[in-house]
Amino acid sequence: MNGHRRRTWFSGMFAAAALCATSMSWAAQSIDWSKAAKSSDIHLTEQQSEQIKSKDLTAALVWHGASPWVAAVSRGARAEFEKLGIKVVAATDAQFDPAKQVADLENIAALKPDIILSLSVDGVSTKQSYAKAIERGAKLVLLSNPIPGFEQGKDFVGIVTDDMFGMGKAAADLTADALGDKGKIGMIYHDASYFITNNRDNAYRKGLKAYPGLNVVIERGFIKEHETSNVAAAMVLQHPELEAIYVSWDAAAEGVVEALRSLGRRDIKVITHDLGVNNLLDMAMDGNVHGTIADRPFDIGQTMARLGAASTLGLPAPHFTLVPFDTVKRDNIAEIWQRAFQSPLPRLLNLALKQ
């Protein structure tokens, strides 16, 4: 999108950040996030909504995997599409397998949907399959992960993502809250090239600089979630003085909590990202998990759908749109769960919070 304004279809239109799409290392690129749009600014007028309804459009959801988080993204997208009279003709789960996502895209391209919402498992191996769907007229809206070589406004509408840097900083603030601005920290980071987690982890490191009394005494990386239990156990045995451990995301943090329990170290606090029932149960029962930073998946899906629908009218879109996040502690678990997922709190978690 050009920096100047064209038809304004949401309040406070932001210019798109300039990105070089030739590099494979997206996490290391210099992106001016101050120019990203906010999801709260994305709106359609009543007239634009009616125009979209008259088009009898179809959409497909091409996801990387399945989880309560993905289900919430889908609910948000479906709710917005329903309001706009857009029929969802397919929804797929690649099971984190690039080959399966390629096959999913081939099948969906044959349906010729007008809009595709997707998170690419691997932008390199899936790129040609996305290109085929785009050639058949589909408007592509991406979730979080850019596809190397794709040009915004030509190959895809835009990217909706977490406020990665804000979330990383908030996790650092949450660590300070857990330790009283002073203490020794272990950091378990995602040791793979991945856009979201790399940026959140780096933002966490940067955020800690605001707290001179907080010291990271050991860092260890992981690639697969199941590795974190052994990583955490070794980390604590090497540095028994640790008072808190940061972990890149919720499911990976489950192994850390398991290791701390087995070592009898209920005193070590865990800080992570995202919402998962197991760690929220631990938090509700005053266990190791001090808090987490969570995005809003329902809002992500809703925003993606709105951007995709608007693109069928030729309306400009921001390169990146950021969705808000929330700091979650025991006292606001129920509130944030509802905000994030737009669904009732799981019964077991509700019972734990009442104890």
Average pLDDT, integer, range 257-263: 98
Q: With pLDDT > 90 as the criterion, what percentage of the chain qualifies?
A: 85
Residue 339 has pLDDT above 60, yes or no: yes
Query: Domain 164-295+328-354: which topology?
Result: Rossmann fold (3.40.50)
Choice between 196 and 270, residue whose per-residue pLDDT is larger: 270
Residue 289 has pLDDT above 60, yes or no: yes
Residue 2 has pLDDT above 50, yes or no: no
Stated as kind and residue range, the H or E segment containing 221 is strand 214-222
- Could you read off the pLDDT of 32-75 as tens digits, one per residue? 677 799 999 999 999 999 999 999 999 999 999 988 899 999 99
What are residue 273's DSSP bridge partners?
A: 293
Is-contact 26 195, C-beta < 8 A? yes
Is-contact 304 160, C-beta < 8 A? yes
pLDDT band at 5, cuts 50/70/90? very low
Sheet holding 269-273, edge to edge: 214-222, 183-190, 244-247, 269-273, 289-295, 325-328
Residue 31 has pLDDT above 80, yes or no: no
How is the chain split into domains, by residue range? 26-161+297-323, 164-295+328-354
Average pLDDT, integer, range 120-142: 95
Same fold, 26-161+297-323 and 164-295+328-354: yes
pLDDT of res. 10: 34
What burial letters (b/e) apply to 156-192, b meaning 16+ CB within 10 Å? bbbbbbbbbbbbbbbbbbbbbebbeeebbbbbbbbbe
Q: Is 12 left (phi over 0), alpha (psi -120 to 50) or beta?
A: left
CA-CA distance, 146 to 19, in Å (whole number)? 10
CATH of domain 26-161+297-323: 3.40.50.2300
Is-contact 203 164, C-beta < 8 A? yes
Is-contact 294 332, C-beta < 8 A? no
